Amino acid sequence: MSDQIFIRELLLRTIIGVNEEERNVRQDVLIDVTLDVDTRAAGESDAVTDTVSYSALADGITALVEGSRFGLIEKLAAEIAALCLEYPLVEAAQVEVQKPDALRFARSAGVRIVRTRAGERERSLRA
């Protein structure tokens, strides 16, 4: 698939981290999401119902992140990817989560994951 919908540099605040001091203060996280979506129908119809509303997606990600208290950014990224795959038109989701200033002398540290609808189906069949 070559069509993609993306959100870049969504800056949110959440409780994230495994150290005691991280469990008490909200920290910034920077989120990038890229979705593989066939946009041909939306390109022809000009109807938001034929695509994934990035506004609705951003609202969903914001609610998830701001309401979460995960220890690891890997878990946060996985939950964001799962949320993205709830949209029927999304075939794959690439999610990058960064913690700015997490490491001394580094602008940020983070994780990038890719989850696919096919991979999630295979995983649920094995469970």
Say which of 99, 102, 110, 115 is annotated catalytic. Answer: 99
Task: Determine the Cα–Cα distance for residues 22 and 70; give it in Å rounded to an integer.
Answer: 10
What is the C-alpha to C-alpha distance for residues 29 and 35, in angstroms, rounded to an integer? Answer: 19
Based on the residue annotation, tell me whether 75 is a catalytic residue of this protein.
no
Name the β-bridge partners of 35: 5, 93
**Extended beta strands in the chain, E state:** 4-14, 27-37, 90-100, 108-116
* d(C-alpha 84, C-alpha 51), whole Å: 13
14: how many CB neighbours lie within 10 A of its CB? Answer: 21
Q: CA 68 to CA 48: how far, in whole Å?
A: 29
Residues catalogued as catalytic: 99
